Amino acid sequence: MSYEHDPALEFFNHLKDEDFNDLVSFMTLNNKGQYRMTEELTQMQSYKTYYPKHSLYWQAIAHELKCYGARQQEIEEPGKGIAYQRIVVNIMRYLNIRASMADHVEKSENILLLTVCKTIYESMQIEDKAAFHDFFEIPAEYTIETNQLILFLESMLNENGLKALQLTVFATHILLRTITKRDLYLAKTLLLNDNLLTVEIKNGIFFDDKNITNKSASAVWQINLVIVLIVISMRKLFNCH
């Protein structure tokens, strides 16, 4: 394993062991708790030596992330993977979101995250929307139709404060539960609202198999999206320190 420097992932060097729990678990284990056939992290010597002290082998985790995303998107340069920003941009383009490699990675992440939040919100029940407005202190009259809600959430994400972290964790947690029935570790300590922890949305709202020739493509992109959202949560957590 040779980790190729990626400025978008260097913040991993400043995280605590527990901050990696969600990412390592999701990249290595499937919904049945078995090792994924596509993962290579658990075979690395640094993993075998330091697990579960994730901060001591963060380079291996970053390397696996770059290679994992590349393998899933079938564009890997053998042994190197691709830049994290490329993974984000590819997902955005797949979802028909305007994206550019020239943008700062956090700008791309926030645009993707805002789209995810909007899609989740539109699928929520009325009572869940009320809890969402209450927890994030959003005026009740702010709606998607008038664009006030989107502007409010966009401003929140750009501020990189506690609310931005909680909003990111909420979106990641809900998508993770919808796709895999698993909970996000960070959500247990950052979303102190039972209604938000149990929000249910329709699976498949981000990906439509009807227009995909490869029947497994939808699942592949869902996994990539969840991984990126987990990384965004980790970055928001780092920015709060």
Token reading at 83: 């830049």
Q: pLDDT band at residue 178, thresholds of 50, 70 and 90?
A: confident
Q: Which residue has the tokens 């969600």?
A: 22
Give residue 241's pLDDT band: very low, low, confident or very high (50, 70, 90).
confident
Alpha carbon distance 83, 4 (integer Å)? 9
What's the confidence (pLDDT) of residue 77? 57
- Which string of DSSP letters, residue by residue, matches the chain? ------GGGGGGGG--GGGGHHHHHHHHB-TTSPBPTT--GGGSHHHHHHTT-GGGGHHHHHHHHHHHHHHHHT---TTT---HHHHHHHHHHHTT----TTS-HHHHHHHHHHHHHHHHHHHS-HHHHHHHHHHTT--TT--TTTTHHHHHHHHHHHHTSHHHHHHHHHHHHHHHHHHHS---TTHHHH---HHHHT----TTSS--GGG-SSTTHHHHHHHHHHHHHHHHHHHHHHHH-
Looking at every residue in the chain, the average pLDDT score rounds to 87
Q: Quick one: pLDDT band at residue 215, thresholds 50, 70, 90?
A: very low
Q: Residue 78: which pLDDT band, with cuts at 50, 70 and 90?
A: low
User: For the whole prediction, is pTM greater than 0.85?
Assistant: yes
* Separation CA 26–CA 39 (nearest Å): 10
Domain-wise residue ranges, the chain = 7-240
Report how far residue 144's alpha carbon sits from residue 153's, in angstroms, rounded to the nearest whole number: 11
pLDDT value, residue 211: 43
Torsion, Cα of 8, 157, 202, 92 (10° steps): -40
